[in-house]
Amino acid sequence: MKIAVFSTKPHDREFLDKFNTNNRHELIYFEAALNTDTTNLAVGFEAVCVFVNDKIDAKTIDKLSKIGIKLIDLRCAGFNNVDLAAAKNKNIKVTRVPAYSPQAVAEHAVALILTLNRKTHKVYNRVRESNFSLENLIGFNLYRKTVGVIGTGKIGTAFCQIMLGFGCKVIAYDVNESETLKEKGVVYKTLNELFKNSDIISLHCPLNPKTKYLFDSKTFSKIKNGAMLINTSRGALIKTSDAIDALKNGHLGYLGIDVYEQEEQLFFKDLSESIIQDDLIERLMAFHNVLITPHQGFFTKEALDQIAITTLKNFTDFEEGLPLENEVKL
């Protein structure tokens, strides 16, 4: 099967080639993102492989259909960047990697919490300059703190289990409550109760019309004063301008994000010699109590192995006419 792989980075090529046994699939790599302006690169291919910041809207799908593309395979879990209705209308199948390493993202969320709390990123820079002062480095114990988890799918479940191990009181919100987590001590609450009682809130839910800007000015007014907010899910769960206001007035005590609502213009690129045109992220980076990582929560060997294996399986199943285990449907 001939496949156009978009938004390619060196690790994509390394891991996909590693598991493309006997070169069964003809993988052609493009650094360009897939959008309405780059569909011409997929001429002569049967399928495309895309990532989180490719823009597969109705116009792009229409162009893909006209050049004969029959499958869009996302090498990620999220699919909010694909117009599923348009794909269905054009009889183009959409598949994804629903679970690769929940622990990878969950552990990264914990890393953000610990770094923000104990300020290890600041200490690292201080010590390199021979500054061994403890001034302004006071943190807090995680033990017995209340951690609110929004979304208890596979990643949220892994995160809950880690925080229980720290001795935290874990409360959660999800439309589908986990009996397993309840047995382990997780208590489900309403969103308003979670906002009010959590010292730390971690987001592990998908982005959809109901969750977009879940955290806006109204929500920030409900959270505990000085609470920490962690987002390793999707950037647009948080309205950045409102988060900035909450940080400025001190109501939001800490913010750790591995995703950002305008990240497609920034993340996965080296912009160290460029003038950043995004004023919101520039403002976020100016806060001492904000930590930003560039969508690296998934970036472990184990996760990349599984992403490549599942991505290639999706192609093989489609090619052989087998049921698409990881198909995304409306």
What is the CATH classification number for the domain harbouring 151?
3.40.50.720
Residue 325 lies in a domain: no
Sequence length of the chain is 330
User: How many angstroms separate the CA atoms of 177 and 304, rounded?
Assistant: 29
Evaluate whether 257 touches 235 at the Cβ level (below 8 Å): yes
User: How many angstroms separate the CA atoms of 262 and 81, rounded?
Assistant: 13
Q: Are 90 and 167 part of one and the same domain?
A: no
Q: Are 124 and 191 part of one and the same domain?
A: yes
Give residue 100's pLDDT: 87
Q: Are 55 and 122 part of one and the same domain?
A: no
Residue 329 lies in a domain: no
Residue 184 lies in a domain: yes
Q: How many CB atoms lie within 10 A of CB 293?
A: 18
Residue 206 lies in a domain: yes
Report the domain count for the chain: 2
273 is catalytic: no
Catalytic residue among 263, 273, 302, 319: 263
Residue 327 lies in a domain: no
Choose among 181, 191, 185, 152: nearest CA to 167: 185
Residue 35 lies in a domain: yes
Q: Are 77 and 108 part of one and the same domain?
A: no
Q: Are 314 and 210 part of one and the same domain?
A: no
Q: Are 39 and 86 part of one and the same domain?
A: yes
Residue 56 belongs to domain spanning: 2-100+301-319
Catalytic residue among 295, 302, 319, 327: 295
Q: Are 126 and 210 part of one and the same domain?
A: yes
Q: How many CB atoms lie within 10 A of CB 209?
A: 6
320 is catalytic: no
Q: Are 50 and 141 part of one and the same domain?
A: no
Q: How many CB atoms lie within 10 A of CB 91?
A: 8
Catalytic residue among 46, 75, 234, 264: 234
Q: Are 309 and 243 part of one and the same domain?
A: no
Q: Is this model's pTM higher than 0.85 or not?
A: yes
User: How many angstroms separate the CA atoms of 161 and 166, rounded?
Assistant: 9
Q: Are 48 and 117 part of one and the same domain?
A: no
11 is catalytic: no
Q: What is the pLDDT along the chain (330 residues), one digit of tens a residue?
A: 999 999 999 999 999 999 999 999 999 999 999 999 999 999 999 999 999 989 999 999 999 999 999 999 999 988 999 999 999 999 999 999 998 899 999 999 999 999 999 999 999 999 999 999 999 999 999 999 999 999 999 999 999 999 999 999 999 999 999 999 999 999 999 999 999 999 999 999 999 999 999 999 999 999 999 999 999 999 999 999 999 999 999 999 999 999 999 999 999 999 999 999 999 999 999 999 999 999 999 999 999 999 999 999 999 999 999 999 999 998
Residue 54 lies in a domain: yes
Q: Are 130 and 219 part of one and the same domain?
A: yes
Residue 328 lies in a domain: no
Q: Are 286 and 305 part of one and the same domain?
A: no
